[in-house]
Structure 1
Amino acid sequence: GGQGLNPSHCGFYLSCLHTVTPCFPDGMLKVAHEEGVQGLWSGTVPSLFLVLNPAIQFMTYEAIKRRLHEVYGLQEFGGLVYFLIGAVAKAVATVITYPLQLVQAKLRHGHDYKDLPPRPNMLQLLSYILNKHGLAGLYKGMEAKIIQTILTAALMFTAYEKIATFVFKLLRSHQTKTKY
């Protein structure tokens, strides 16, 4: 049978955890020593560009929603409409930014391209992949990522719209009660 967690073992486990897990400065020193100071900044430029993903996602979502409001003249849509708009918006953002996500991963975790230096910059890596593998090479592996991210974003936008609608109705009803 299971013994459960013996409290006398906790100190041992915690001491092991402390010796195995380095603190942040130790980790930085290790990276700087093994990869040079440049290694501390590996993947930073693509990460900065990846702030475009949520910006594109929200801009696309709002543009589609605004257009649907203009075309159909409705103030609110059903949950399925918000779900679909959110899915399309995330798909657009992911397709636009996926090559940067791919490059970021290769800069962080390394690559196996023999014709490139071990630590190429973002443009070298993008250019190499495009030249060797074509446009399809920039999107390798996207299908595994896109399903999960689209569903997550679609659910997030649906929940956001439903919660916002509820809160605004609640605030409006509270305002009319306090006016009189």
Structure 2
Amino acid sequence: MSDAVINGLAGAGGGIISQLITYPLQTVNTRQQTERDPKKEKRKLGTVEQMCQVVKHEGWDRLYGGLAPSLVGTAASQGVYYYFYQIFRNKAEATAFERKKKGIGDGSVGMFSSLVVAALSGCVNVLLTNPIWVVVTRMQTHTEKSQPSQTRSIVSDEAIVAAAEPPPYGTNHAIQEVYDEAGFLGFWTGVCPTLFMVSNPSIQFMLYETLLKKRKERRASSKKGNNDITASEIFLLGALAKLGATVVTYPLLVVKSRLQAKQLIGGDKRHQYKGTFDAIMKMIHYEGFYGFYKGMGTKIVQSVLAAAILFMVKEELVKASRWLLTKDAVNIARSKPP
């Protein structure tokens, strides 16, 4: 099994686990990002308060709205990203090694090369998985208030009128809704800011690789001479890397969520976006720069925790996979007759 496949599968596993743990925070954050009333007078709810409000008025299941497609998207995104990241990383390392043989550089992959590798991997990931995230955003932001008015029908000769219960809003409903609004290309709504968002994992991995390299060098230069990194250190390094990347790129994430959420057709024109540039200009005009940072506190908690868990689980899965493959290879070698 190639190193790229191992990293891809480990990344998918780590992504699923981190998603399951942090999903309610992600749902609340998406709702905060897509809140479009700049003159809302009532007190802004905190993250925990908003979660309680969702549970009280809509039920526990709404905190996990879109979980199924989100898990598919997470597995696909992390698998695709880590697979291509490892392929591009291997090529970058081979190039650095060739340059070293020619007397150029020290043979290690520099910061800029790490940034390019992460960016290329992110672009491939975005183009392949954007439709999944459009559906997930629709399901996370759906509320009973957004349901069309319920039909009424006479159910007896005594003219008793009963309101029909709306069917549960599921993945098929979200897919049909997106297609009815914008056709097949609607599943790539928000792809432009999302492509710019590849700078987030690019910055994240650049910071992560840099911090990891420095930590290993410091550990190797210590008296013990052991450069093995523990799971808790990976957790901390992943958290710090994601924190830096999130603060820098958060406005792009808000614009992407606004574009992918259900557009308020026939409503206030301030809440209807024709594209990325139109969304940015309307947000600046009607909400100010504050609008680009709605829910950032929730996002920092959610994304930093998710990234830290992902890095920790992914690294442990990679270690376990390599150990199993090495053990199997040794057993096969021993079983062969001399």
Following TM superposition, by how much is the alpha carbon of 1:155 offset from its aligned partner in structure 2, in angstroms? 1.0
Deviation at 1:99? 0.7
The residue number in structure 1 matching 2:181 is 31
Deviations 1:16-62 (A, max 9, x none): 89xxx5696x6566214xxx998665422112223333333223211
SS state at 1:75 partner = coil
Shift of 1:105: 1.6
Q: Quick one: distance in 2 between partners of 1:71 and 1:89? A: 18
Richer in helix (by share) = 1
2:52 aligned partner: none
Match of 1:62 in 2: 209
- Does the 8 A contact of 2:219 with 2:227 survive in 1? no
CA distance in structure 1 between the partners assigned to 2:173 and 2:317 by the alignment: 42
Q: Do residues 119 (structure 1) and 273 (structure 2) align?
A: yes
**Mapped pair 1:76 → 2:228:** yes
Q: Which residue of 1 aligns with 2:299?
A: 145
Number of the residue aligned with 2:191: 44
**Equivalent residue for 2:248, pick from 81, 87, 96:** 96
Q: How many residues align?
A: 155
Aligned pair partner of 1:159 in 286, 289, 313: 313
Q: Summarize the Cα distance change of 1:148–1:175 in structure 2 as closer, same or farther, 3 Å threshold.
A: same
Q: Secondary structure at the match of 1:119?
A: coil
CA contact (8 A) 1:86 1:154 kept: yes
| C-alpha spacing 1:84/1:165, structure 2 compared with 1 (3 Å) | same
Give the deviation of 1:128 after TM superposition: 4.9
Please name the residue that 1:87 is paired with: 239
Q: Quote the sequence identity (%).
A: 31
Preserved CA contact (<8 Å) 2:239 2:307: yes
Which deviates more, 97-106 or 37-46?
Answer: 37-46
Output the amino acid matched with 2:181.
Answer: V
- Map Cα deviations across residues 109-166 of structure 1 (whole Å, 9 max, x no partner): 348xx785832432343355456523x4422211112212211111111112222233
Equivalent of residue 105 in structure 1, options 248, 257, 260: 257
Classify 1:27/1:87 alpha carbon distance in 2 versus 1 (closer, same or farther; 3 Å).
same
TM-score, normalised relative to structure 1: 0.65
Amino acid of the structure 2 residue aligned with 1:81? E
Native 8 Å contact 1:31 1:37 kept in 2 = no
Q: Which amino acid aligns with 2:313?
A: A
Task: Flag structure 2 segments of 5+ consecutive residues without an equivalent.
Answer: 1-166, 221-225
Contact preservation (8 Å) 1:56, 1:93: yes
